[in-house]
Structure formats: structure tokens, C-alpha cells
Amino acid sequence: MNILVTGASKGIGRAIAEELKSLGSLYVTARNESALQELNAAGYCVCDLTRDAERLGAFIKENKIDVLVNNAGEYIYGEIDEMTPAQIERIFRTNLETPTFLISQAVPYMKEQKWGRIINIGSISGVMGEANASLYSATKAGLVGLTKALALELAADNITVNTINPGWVDTELGNQSIEESEFSRDEIIECIPQRRFVKPEEIAKLARYLISDDARGITGQSINLCAGLSVGI
């Protein structure tokens, strides 16, 4: 099993990389080389998903990746009429276009061996919508649609495709999102039914399960791991 986790230098991606390391040969990618080196993976690729997608695609083919975890992503908070063309282009490329391209590069080998696992890390914002984060919500909703279509397209090749939609997660990105929003941490927790943030390790363990043979019947699904946030308040 050759596993690639994008955005593996911190937060959810790092937790997933640590959790999956024992399953096979782990490969990681992010912009921070020193953080990637700390993971002691089988290999790593330092890159920015907005600029280096083709190089990462070649890395995927070279290392015969058959488990792809599209975790890397960016968050932008602000009203739609404040967004610049550069911001719009960057978030769509990072969160949706590049993950789609990476899948296209990994699938040929998966088809060849009649086995593969693709896990996209979405967001509860892509399921419910988030005011003042429309670009983020749109890109994460795109991953959900992509997951459904590809699950149908690749089912006969024994390739599963699923999306995990975290809610508020106790990570650097999650805390940054709070700082950019108009709500305090306490106000946000008050809106979460379990009154807590999800831990990155919870997402990592779900990813591990989705890779396992026990989960081979789960495909095309959008799984909300959000401490009840998607259900209501």
C-alpha cells in the first residue's frame, strides 16, 4: 500500500499521516520541508498546490500511489464582494482543481491493480454553507459532488471514494478561522451540540477505517464528523 497525504505538515493532515504510517509506505507533501522531514516518511514532495500540481502528479505516478488523501486546503473569510480574482482563483485551485487533478494521476495505477482508496477532506461548510466563507463552502461542496460521481465511475475497479466533512477542529487552521470570524471560541462551542471541537485524531482514525477492507462497501459517501453540528442546535 502506497499512501500519499497532502497538507501533511500540520493539523488534520499530520494526524492522518501519523495514523496511516503503519499501513504501508507513507508519502507526504506540503510547503514546509522541515515539518515533512519530521514524519520520517518513505518520501516527500515539497510543493504548493497552486503552482506545483504537475510535479506532484509525476510524484504520484512514480511512487504508484494507491491510497490518496486529499487533505490540503485553504480558508478565506470575507464577504463575496470583497474577494479578489486572485483569492477566488487560489482557493478553487487549492481546494478543488488540484485534488481533482491528483486523483486523475493516481487512478491509472489503481485501475491497473484493481484496488484503490481515495479520501477527500471536505468540510461541514460544504454541506451546510457558511456565510462569509462562500468560496470555501463552494470548493468543499464541489468535493462532495466529485466524490459521488467518481464513486460510480470507479466502483467496478474496486476503488472507493469518500469525503470526510469535519466541523470545527482543534487545529491551527480552526483557530485561525475563529480569529477571522465575528464570533468568539465560546460562542462557537455554544452552537456545537457536543460543546467541543473535534480532535484531528478522530478524523485520522476514520480515514484509517475507510482504507480498510472492512469499509470496502462504503463509497460515494459524505461523512460528517462534526460533533453534531450538521444536525442542528
CATH of the domain at 123: 3.40.50.720
Query: Is 196 domain-assigned?
Result: yes
Does the structure show a pLDDT above 90 at 52? yes
pLDDT in tens, 116-175: 999 999 999 999 989 999 999 999 999 999 999 999 999 999 999 999 999 989 877 666
Q: Cell numbers for 6, please give them.
A: 497532502
Nearest CA to 204 among 41, 96, 71? 71
pLDDT value of position 189 = 84
Query: Is 167 domain-assigned?
Result: yes
Catalytic site includes residue 136: yes
Query: Is 175 domain-assigned?
Result: yes
pLDDT in tens, 65-122: 999 999 999 999 999 999 999 999 999 999 999 999 999 999 999 999 999 999 999 9
**How many domains does the chain fold into?**
1
pLDDT value of position 175 = 66
| Mean pLDDT score, 24-28 | 98
Query: Is 73 domain-assigned?
Result: yes
**What is the reported pTM?**
0.93
Higher pLDDT, 189 or 150: 150
Q: Cell numbers for 204, please give them.
A: 485520522
| Mean pLDDT score, 188-215 | 94
Query: Is 137 domain-assigned?
Result: yes
Domain extent at residue 205 = 2-225
pLDDT value of position 171 = 79
Which of the following is catalytic: 44, 75, 77, 136? 136
Supply the DSSP string of 45-69, one letter for each residue.
EE--TTT-HHHHHHHHHHTT--EEE
Nearest CA to 66 among 4, 22, 147, 158? 4
Query: Is 230 domain-assigned?
Result: no
Query: Is 233 domain-assigned?
Result: no
Place of cell 500540481: 53
Query: Is 231 domain-assigned?
Result: no
Query: How does residue 192 score in pLDDT terms, banded at 50, 70 and 90?
Result: confident
Does the structure show a pLDDT above 90 at 233? no
Higher pLDDT, 187 or 81: 81
Q: Cell numbers for 86, please give them.
A: 486572485
